[in-house]
Structure 1
């Protein structure tokens, strides 16, 4: 598991969305050299949206090392990051399926699921991780309609479409894990639209768990706190990046590798067979209730 960095401060840096891992200083820790599996997902087939980098990459690596074959969806401009994630999946001895496409388009979102199930030979686990935010603004009055469209379609519309399509493939013993956020509980003013989608995801998770329980499908969510991913330098002001995560009780941002075990836990029928309808916080000490 990741060790706490010597200094919680990050160098000033910015990228344009969606951001790329190779341009980050320091590079995030996705568990490449630290995560060790113990067979929690042997024989499972998983789709991770936004699996090219950040939390998605860490989850994909962990799933592979736990014994799962993994498909990842991502934007076409994130191909370099996706290829690197695929290499880590394959190094774990598992099958990697790459699914580029913009899931803000309904047809693309649904096709991603069907292709994942087809190329993996089934679908047992869905991780709705893909998300977008934009914090380079000062007021709610600065949120343009095109910003709302990008955030809501990425974070909510696609989640609905992909989940609907996945239910054509998921059977008893299946698991859905959504990516919520501390923003659902303690929103930042500059992330009002993003925080709204994450609160909705919490509601979606609990209600869907109630609906799918009789079908033997568990539904849960992970609520990350501030995590060092490409989305941060790509969507935050430089001065915010420098102080990113310092306001948590632990005094630092988390690494993607510190999120992966939570996704493994909730995806596994070995560890979480009676866990459904919950939101698991990994926030550095900030409250998720």
Structure 2
């Protein structure tokens, strides 16, 4: 079994300038899925993943490719990380379309979907995963620019992508949103981020009811991660949090991106045919707001 770093293993971890690159992290996130055993669960499918250049998005892209899907990833800034994801997918026999786009822009979301459909001939799975966060010790310090960027990336971008993708989806296809445990427990340093993630949970459940009433056969669910070691952590969190990351989790460590990927495979595959409006927790036992 792969050894997973414990909270105490991060004591010498350092901060990185935002946007942090996965390739520059001294403790590399585990995204390789070296022990993953694929079963062809997404063979013939086309998947579009936002925030696919690193972290959870990269791991999901690799898992989907291993399961037989053709993959497109959307990213905003880190070209090198995106190219690494493409190379890793292709090394595993998959195909990866790389799209640089800002999901805060409705037109950019529409273009990303259209490029994916043109490249692969359709779309079956949308994974909304792009996210922005910035810590502040007081709500008084959350400026308008930060608030808009957080909500526009984490919520508007999800809505825009769903609106663009929906006309291309049909019976048996899936939308998967990335929520967060802090959208339920809260976190005093991430007030606006917590609000955005809570909104994603509500969006997922509301659309499940809407899709069910429409009878379109499209399933929508969300994965709810706990603390996961991704570039967002050393790129946005205070040093004291980075150097004990995951300490409050029951398992005594943060999750690794590759540990989240199977949940996204499950929700994209026929295995989850009766799962709708679900918030699938993958938290390692983080059950409170303890920082």
Quick check: TM above 0.5? yes
Q: Which residue of structure 2 lines up, in the alignment, with residue 161 of structure 1?
A: 160
Q: CA deviation at 1:179?
A: 0.1
1:209–1:277 contact (8 Å) kept in structure 2: yes
What TM-score, normalized by structure 1, do the two folds share? 0.95
Q: Which residue of structure 2 lines up, in the alignment, with residue 249 of structure 1?
A: 250
Cα distance per residue 1:66-116 (max 9 Å; x no partner) = 1100000001x3110011111121122221101001111221122111111
Q: Tell me the secondary structure at the aligned position of residue 168 of structure 1.
A: helix
Report matched runs for 1:48-127 at 5 Å.
48-75=49-76, 77-127=77-127
Q: Tell me the secondary structure at the aligned position of residue 189 of structure 1.
A: coil
1:8–1:253 contact (8 Å) kept in structure 2: no
| Distance in structure 2 (CA, Å) of the matches to 1:6 and 1:172 | 42
Q: Which residue of structure 1 lines up, in the alignment, with residue 231 of structure 2?
A: 230
Report matched runs for 1:194-233 at 5 Å.
194-213=193-212, 214-233=215-234
Structure 1 residues without counterparts, runs of 5 or longer: none
What TM-score, normalized by structure 2, do the two folds share? 0.95
Q: Tell me the secondary structure at the aligned position of residue 245 of structure 1.
A: coil
| Distance in structure 2 (CA, Å) of the matches to 1:2 and 1:101 | 34
Between Structure 1 and Structure 2, how many residues are aligned? 285
Q: What RMSD, in angstroms, separates the aligned Cα atoms of the two structures?
A: 1.4
| Distance in structure 2 (CA, Å) of the matches to 1:209 and 1:16 | 38
2:172–2:217 contact (8 Å) kept in structure 1: yes
| Distance in structure 2 (CA, Å) of the matches to 1:84 and 1:35 | 19
1:178–1:201 contact (8 Å) kept in structure 2: yes
| Distance in structure 2 (CA, Å) of the matches to 1:245 and 1:182 | 13
Cα distance per residue 1:134-168 (max 9 Å; x no partner) = 11x21111101110111001001111011001001
Q: CA deviation at 1:2?
A: 4.1
Q: CA deviation at 1:287?
A: 3.5
Q: CA deviation at 1:32?
A: 4.0
| Distance in structure 1 (CA, Å) of the matches to 2:6 and 2:234 | 20
1:31–1:62 contact (8 Å) kept in structure 2: no
Report matched runs for 1:7-22 at 5 Å.
8-10=8-10, 11-22=12-23
| Distance in structure 1 (CA, Å) of the matches to 2:2 and 2:223 | 18
Q: CA deviation at 1:22?
A: 1.1
Q: CA deviation at 1:33?
A: 2.1
Cα distance per residue 1:44-78 (max 9 Å; x no partner) = 00000000000000000000001100000001x31
Q: CA deviation at 1:6?
A: 5.8
